A and B are shown apart, each in its own frame.
Chain A
Amino acid sequence: MNKQRRLILKTLMQGGMALGALMAAPGAALAAWMESAFKAKDMGEAMKNLLGSANAQDSDKVRLETPAIAENGAVVPIKVSSSLPNVESISIFVKNNPTPLAASFEIPEGTEPKVSVRIRMGKTSPVTAVVKAGGKLYSTTKETKVTIGGCGG
């Protein structure tokens, strides 16, 4: 009985400590999944809801790697990295998708601004990577073509 109680107490304490660690984490509090941004059908609106502004400065310090022609729109590999200091987040927008915001990554201190992900694209569209660094927004856009295949599509 006692043993079990101790275990429960221990578990509770660990949980509490973990929660405390999360709350004490530097930078913005854990950004919950922001419905208003992820469900927005317009890219500008999605950006504004997520990052506070729909305007980002075009920057060659945001490196975006996307295929020029996607082999299959169901699996499009995307890589984003940045040479900017103090990167807080990296977000990926696909303008012509039904909901343009595909993903947003928090980059805590000690984590490199370098992420890869595989996304779905319904049709040919510009793909935009937005990096938030030092409170400002920077972006790079590239177009990826999505074709209907003969055998593969």
Chain B
Amino acid sequence: MNKQLVKTLLTTVAIMLALSSVAQASPEEDRQAFVKFFHDRFPNVKGDDWINGVYAIDSASRAQWEEIEDFPPYEIYVDEGKKLFETKFANGKSLADCFENGGIGIKQNYPYFDTKRGEVVTLELAINECREKNGEKPWGWKKGKLAAVSAYMAWTSRGKKTNVKIPNDPRALAAYEAGKKHFYSRRGQLNMACAHCHMHYSGNKLRADITSPALGHTTHFPVFRSKWGSLGTLHRRFGGCNKQVRAKPFKAQSEEYRNLEYFLTYMNNGLPINGPGARK
């Protein structure tokens, strides 16, 4: 009897220790566990194919996607984005002046934590802030011109490896943890977390859809979704996901979504940028 009790106690202590070590895991340990989870769940996915989302795990839809990629619907919008990117502001400056390397091939470094401001800066936020700083009106956050420019900037960054950093600043870690919390928290009338569909049930059918693995989710944004019939930013998709579990979505570029993007993109560190993408 006593032996049993001791055993139970010991197990409890062991579990508590394990739990506390999970809570204290560094972002890098989180990332490695995250990657391992998907590698174990989908052992047939090769190399960096994660960046292709559901098409990495479903050959039937992949065939149609490859057909679409033969002349992808986003190309004419990448061209538009390039024109917008190169169009000078009224003051003679342009978007290129606000970014490192003239804005070319830099998407892999976004989002980043700005230690001066103490918050996460996404590429879309930086684009609109650049416009405002130069006396131009900001664009809408979810689609249209901003998405087109973001798509062009992603296009110039294709093949570069996602490289999100968490600087040694407690506020940066807090932003990361807030994003992580969003990902794993249940919400909405369906009481589901991002992690339910895109980790634990990923690859299963949700009505007629197969849910995509979260690993690789951020690399191909912005995306041209057939459902939208237009380009949309990552935050537009976040809003859609939240709505689908019958939760009230947060605003695009809200602190909540910027933190979520920070966490998710960090999980994709090392995976190449392949945006913009085409999705169903």
- A residues touching B (Cβ–Cβ < 8 Å)? 67-72, 74-75, 77, 79, 116, 118, 147-153
Contact = CB atoms under 8 A, between A and B. Distances in A.
B116 interface: no
Contact of B280 (A71, A118, A148): A71
Given A71-B226, A74-B229, A149 B63 contact: no
Q: Which 5 A-B pairs have the closest CB atoms?
A: A150-B206, A147-B208, A150-B207, A72-B226, A150-B209
Interface string B137-178: 000000000000000000000000000000000000000000
Interface stretch (B29-37, B64-72, B266-274): B64-72
B61 to A, nearest CB: 5
B68 A75 contact: yes
A68 to B, nearest CB: 7
B68 A151 contact: no
Given A77-B64, A77-B68, A148 B229 contact: no
Given A72-B226, A74-B226, A153-B227, A148 B67 contact: no
Given A150-B206, A153-B209, A69 B227 contact: no
Contacts of A77: 64, 67-68
Given A67-B63, A71-B61, A149 B68 contact: no
13 contacts: A67-B64, A68-B60, A71-B226, A72-B280, A77-B64, A79-B67, A116-B67, A118-B68, A150-B244, A151-B197, A151-B206, A151-B209, A153-B227
Given A147-B208, A149-B280, A150-B209, A70 B229 contact: no
B233 interface: no
B211 interface: yes
Interface residues of B, number: 25
B67 A149 contact: no
Contacts of B67: 77, 79, 116
Given A72-B227, A74-B227, A152 B64 contact: no
A151 B201 CA distance: 14
B208 A153 contact: yes
Contacts of A150: 205-209, 211, 244
B42 to A, nearest CB: 19
Contacts of A151: 197, 206, 209, 211, 240-241, 244
A152 B61 CA distance: 12
Contact of B226 (A67, A75, A116, A147): A75
Contact of B209 (A70, A75, A116, A152): A152
A114 to B, nearest CB: 14
Contacts of A152: 208-209, 225-227, 279-280
The winner among B61, B68, B280 for most chain A CB atoms within 10 A is B280
Contacts of B241: 151
A69 B58 CA distance: 12
A115 to B, nearest CB: 13
Contacts of A72: 226-227, 280
Contacts of B206: 150-151
A149 B61 contact: no
Contact of B208 (A67, A79, A116, A149): A149
